[in-house]
Structure 1
Amino acid sequence: MSNKVNKNVLRAGTITAGTALMLLMSSPAFALTRDDGDDPGPGLSVIETLGLFVALPIVLFLVIAGLVMVGDKSPKKAGSKG
């Protein structure tokens, strides 16, 4: 095997091992039983979920884009021709 292939194999093995370790460390997050002191709040309705994860990002994008457009207005040069 060439040196380039060896590097790719090593990289793939490292990524696989790292991913496996991350999954093993996060396994309590997917537990079927709740821990002591774990008190989840009330669930979101469909409207609240759409507002939070769809409407709010769109509104924030439009506000930021509007601020960029307002701040980017540069005066037009009168005497320049193509």
Structure 2
Amino acid sequence: MDKKNALRAGALVAGTTLMMLLMSSPASALVRDDGDDPGSGLSVIETLGLFVVAPLVLFAVIAGLVMVLDKSKEEHRVTTRNIKTKPAGAKAGSKA
């Protein structure tokens, strides 16, 4: 039954993708539309700064704020100090 559902989902995704590709018009970058007013292009350094460096900096700032402002309790954090293990001889259903 799962194989049939997976096959149906795959066919649906493939069909949808194919229809999107066929129905979308090609990018016409060489033909200008009326009212087009493109600005000057970006240099390589500006492009790398905008699409590589800026997202990395934003990720680092958000991660840093999350770590600094973390108010969770110590006993809820998973560390090697608060992991409780069962004795070697204990069985799964018994209370030790």
**Which TM-score band (shorter chain)?**
0.5 to 0.7
1:12 corresponds to which of 10, 13, 16: 10
TM-score (norm 2): 0.58
| RMSD of Structure 2 on Structure 1 (CA) | 2.9
Question: What are the ranges of 5 or more consecutive residues in structure 2 without an aligned counterpart?
Answer: 75-80, 83-96
Structure showing greater radius of gyration is: 2
Q: How many residues align structurally?
A: 75
Higher helix share: 1
Question: CA offsets, 1:16-69, max 9 Å, x none?
Answer: 2211221233224x1242322233221110110111011111111111111111
Q: Which runs of 4+ in 1 moved over 6 A?
A: none
Distance 1:66 1:73 in 2: 14
Distance 1:74 1:17 in 2: 47
TM-score (norm 1): 0.66
Q: CA separation of 1:9/1:42 partners in 2, compared to 1, >3 Å: closer, same or farther?
A: same
The percent of aligned pairs where both chains have the same amino acid is 59
Q: Which has the higher contact order (CA 8 A, sep 6+)?
A: 2
